[in-house]
Amino acid sequence: MPDAPPATHTPVTHSTALHSLCQPLSHDAFLDHARQLLTRLYPERYEEVLRRMETLLDFHRPRLAPRIPAGEVLWSERDQWLITYGDSLQQPDEAPLATLNDFLASHLGECLSGAHVLPFFPWSSDDGFSVVHYREVNPALGDWQDIRRLSEQRDLMADLVINHCSRESLWFADYLAGVQPGRDYFIEMDPETDISAVVRPRPSALLTPVHTRRGLRHLWATFSDDQIDLNFGNPDVLLEFIGILLYYLEQGARMIRLDAVAFLWKRLGTSCIHLEETHAVVRLLRAIVDHLAPGSLLITETNVPHTENMSYFGLDRLVEAEQEGGKSVAQADEAHLIYQFTLPPLTLHTLTSGDASALTAWANSLPTLPAGCSYFNFTASHDGIGVRALEGLLPDHERDTLVRLVHDFGGYVSMRANPGHPDTPYELNISYFDALKGTRRGRDPWQIERFIASQTLMLSLQGIPGLYIHSLTATPNHQEGVERDGHLRAINRRKWHRDELEALLASPNTATHEVFHALKRRMELRREEPCFHPDAQQHVFDMGPDFFVFERVNHEGRRLLFALNVTDQPRVLPVPEHWQNIPLTDHLCHDKAFDPDMARRPYQAAWLMEQTVRAPAIEVV
């Protein structure tokens, strides 16, 4: 066996990092922080806005309480989430939210700690992300009682669709009529205005014409002409959304997802993305959550290049916070979690190229996060596979290779506008299962193994994993949905009839059965392994292009080595130096003794541990 390349990091055997703990924000500290932020947002009106906000918070305060006690951990290795629409599962004569709740209880039990139910409000387009009524549940899905039942069984994530609303909303009707409150909720713009600097996520026009009682007006619409951007330069809009956020927490949500938040604030002459005011709004919402409902979590959804995405932790503004034992530790004051948007396309690149070099380099670049911050890891979601996160990590020709592969495997590509330049790829529209049908050489027999490898990798990385329902069910491309709905993202948004899904799960000869049970058992193992605590340290090793290798070390020094053969050929794993000459067992292979001279199968993953460190053996297929 060749000598192992040197470790990327200096090995450690013990981590002194403390867990992220629930840190309530006192009333005085909150007011000081809020005043600073509001002064930045509304320098002429901050005292008035602060008074109005205090009145709003006092109204909601009696109905809110800490989600977890002060000093308790915010998350653990048992945190594992499902991403799903409210009607991804359907059954005759039953509200889809009730069907979902029963299915999760019947088939996944304690494997899942939480569920992200995508927008469950009345909507007019974009499968929920063009909200008509923010404080109502779409009656086609169920009602608030169904939402509360879900939240009683597991943690619930709700979307705060904060950047825009539907043109069918009452706010927009007010705007058209020129009456309050909606009259000043939107952004009018002269169509001759130079907006060439504005970053675009879509190829459509930024300004959409609207006929009002005052004549033709042009409104800012970042995503579509049915999703009209809201004017956060008007403090009434901010106060409206603070009230909505608190209402969702009252209805049982523990995590609030800030949808498309990067585009929130507009200032002509700038890119209108990631502006200082946008970050100030996120910090204010974090302060409100930590003050009124400590233990609740904010997560930002920003499908942008990796370094830009990382900015939503607010790592450049670390503050000191008291933790367990009176120790003062650095803590960020922006989002608790960010979506790890780099992971889906980079994993796809790795497993279809058979080369882990880029993935290893990226994972090695991730910083040590302060207390109260973690990643939300995922490979698939209701949207496509965003490729903006690859900017600066892969050359354009590698991105274009992914585009060709997706076309070959039955998918599509959505584009974004670049003023003065050709449109460029924005996201790949394909089911993640079918995106892994083969490699650059074409389709092969390894689709299921390759797909399970992608999910095992995601479950193993530092952070909290989120599995899309169509990953659990190995759902192929839903071409009928694209033809029926007329939009590309429908390819990955199938609605299962429960009886049909149950039949596939019961049949051992289906991909659905094999993938579902393999992932379920990995989740059962993971939730019992302390090395997968989100705060457990992660150290990446460069073991050559054939393997992706890292170790997880918890605060007590317990170690686990993850290794994945990313190729379609048997390969011998070059074990990192400080793991050599130690008897190891593979937790993914029934704690079988690990033979360092035996070749790992194509796409085989390992969770290696010292033989003296035993965990409950759960059979994994």
Coil/strand/helix, residue 89: strand
Measure the CA–CA gap between 49 and 134, rounded to whole angstroms: 22
pLDDT given for residue 611 in this prediction = 87
**Exposed, middle or buried, 133 (CB in 10 Å: 0-12/13-18/19+)?**
middle
Is pLDDT above 80 for 15?
A: no
Candidate from 12-16, 183-187, 211-215, 529-533 with smallest mean pLDDT: 12-16
Measure the CA–CA gap between 618 and 460, rounded to whole angstroms: 17
Residues sharing a CB contact under 8 Å with residue 510, sequence separation 6 or more, in sequence order: 504
Is pLDDT above 50 for 10?
A: no
Q: Name the percent of the chain in helix, strand, coil, to the closest 5.
A: 35, 20, 40
Residues sharing a CB contact under 8 Å with residue 32, sequence separation 6 or more, in sequence order: none
Tell me the CA distances in angstroms from 591 to 32, 525, 527, 550, 613, one per residue in order.
54, 11, 16, 19, 10
334-361 per-position pLDDT tens digit? 999 999 999 999 999 999 999 999 999 9
The residue-averaged pLDDT of 283-296 equals 97
Q: Are 543 and 574 in contact (CB under 8 A)?
A: yes
pLDDT given for residue 332 in this prediction = 81
pLDDT given for residue 2 in this prediction = 37
149-180 per-position pLDDT tens digit? 999 999 999 999 999 999 999 999 999 999 99
Residues 448, 462, 285, CA angle at the centre, nearest 5°?
Answer: 115
DSSP string of 267-307? -TTS--SS-HHHHHHHHHHHHHHHHHSBTBEEEE---S-HH
Q: Are 208 and 217 in contact (CB under 8 A)?
A: no
**Exposed, middle or buried, 213 (CB in 10 Å: 0-12/13-18/19+)?**
exposed
pLDDT given for residue 19 in this prediction = 81
C-alpha torsion angle, residues 327, 331, 336, 339 (rounded to 10): -120
508-561 per-position pLDDT tens digit? 999 999 999 999 999 999 999 999 999 999 999 999 999 999 999 999 999 999
pLDDT given for residue 230 in this prediction = 98
Q: b/e per residue, 595-608, with b = 16+ CB within 10 A?
A: ebeeebebbbbbbb
Measure the CA–CA gap between 430 and 352, rounded to whole angstroms: 15
Residues sharing a CB contact under 8 Å with residue 427, sequence separation 6 or more, in sequence order: 303, 383, 384, 385, 386, 387, 413, 414
75-103 per-position pLDDT tens digit? 999 999 999 999 999 999 999 999 999 99
> Is 194 among the catalytic positions?
no
pLDDT given for residue 317 in this prediction = 77
Structure tokens at 137: 């549940």
Q: Are 301 and 309 in contact (CB under 8 A)?
A: no
316 pLDDT band, cuts 50/70/90, is confident
Measure the CA–CA gap between 49 and 596, rounded to whole angstroms: 64
321 pLDDT band, cuts 50/70/90, is low
pLDDT given for residue 13 in this prediction = 32
Q: Tell me the percentage of the chain whose pLDDT exceeds 90.
A: 91
pLDDT given for residue 290 in this prediction = 96
421 pLDDT band, cuts 50/70/90, is confident
110-150 per-position pLDDT tens digit? 999 999 999 999 999 999 999 999 999 999 999 999 999 99
Q: Are 559 and 577 in contact (CB under 8 A)?
A: no
In terms of pLDDT, which residue wins out, 10 or 353?
Answer: 353
List Cβ<8 Å contacts ≥24 apart for 135-138: 135/244, 135/247, 137/97, 138/86
Tell me the CA distances in angstroms from 370 to 76, 202, 332, 376, one per residue in order.
16, 34, 7, 15
In terms of pLDDT, which residue wins out, 16 or 541?
Answer: 541
Measure the CA–CA gap between 337 and 369, rounded to whole angstroms: 11
Is pLDDT above 60 for 396?
A: yes
318 pLDDT band, cuts 50/70/90, is confident
Is pLDDT above 80 for 326?
A: no
57-71 per-position pLDDT tens digit? 999 999 999 999 999
pTM of the model as a whole? 0.94
Residue 273 sits at φ, ψ, to 5 deg, of -140, 135
Residues in the chain: 621
Q: Are 338 and 376 in contact (CB under 8 A)?
A: yes
Is pLDDT above 80 for 281?
A: yes
pLDDT given for residue 9 in this prediction = 34
Q: Report the candidate in 166, 163, 217, 214 with the shortest Cα–Cα distance to residue 188.
A: 217
- 191: which DSSP letter? T
Candidate from 14-23, 72-81, 599-608 with smallest mean pLDDT: 14-23
Measure the CA–CA gap between 445 and 449, rounded to whole angstroms: 9
Measure the CA–CA gap between 564 and 125, rounded to whole angstroms: 40
324 pLDDT band, cuts 50/70/90, is low
Give me the catalytic one of 155, 229, 259, 568.
259
